[in-house]
Amino acid sequence: MDAKTMKKVFKEKINLLLNPVGLKLSTVLENNYLVNKVQTSIDVDKHIMLIEEVQNLFSELIFPDLPHCEHRVQLMAELLGTGISEAMYILEFLNKSLKLEGDVCEFGVAQGTTSALMANEIRGTEKNLWLFDSFK
């Protein structure tokens, strides 16, 4: 499946998940970039359910080798400034990098929610997570 078709199928599947709770993934122009957005206020249980479904879609269609990790969905529900799809890419590449020597670093920690997600992923390994941020 080519990238354009995969993106279309993925968006359709996400909208199938979102429609029952009155949401729709739409593309908007933001800072001269087309960005997929879902904006609403939904209850926590539905939010977590949707994150789990999106994670499962990513795992099935894009990252079939990404291992399951306990607490991932709950930590993804707390993300600030990092979208779920971005988080899935971070986790995929983080897990691929675990085979390499050395520790893991995050530059630009902000509130630390992505840091917590990464720390959860490397728990049980010999890796350390080093966090760097500027405080201006």
DSSP 32-92: TEEEEE------HHHHHHHHHHHHHHHHHHT-TTPPP-TTHHHHHHT-SSS-HHHHHHHHH
pLDDT at residue number 98? 95
Q: Model pTM?
A: 0.70
* 40-78 per-position pLDDT tens digit: 546 677 788 889 999 999 999 999 999 999 999 999 998
Query: Which is more confidently placed, 37 or 90?
Result: 90
pLDDT of residue 114: 96
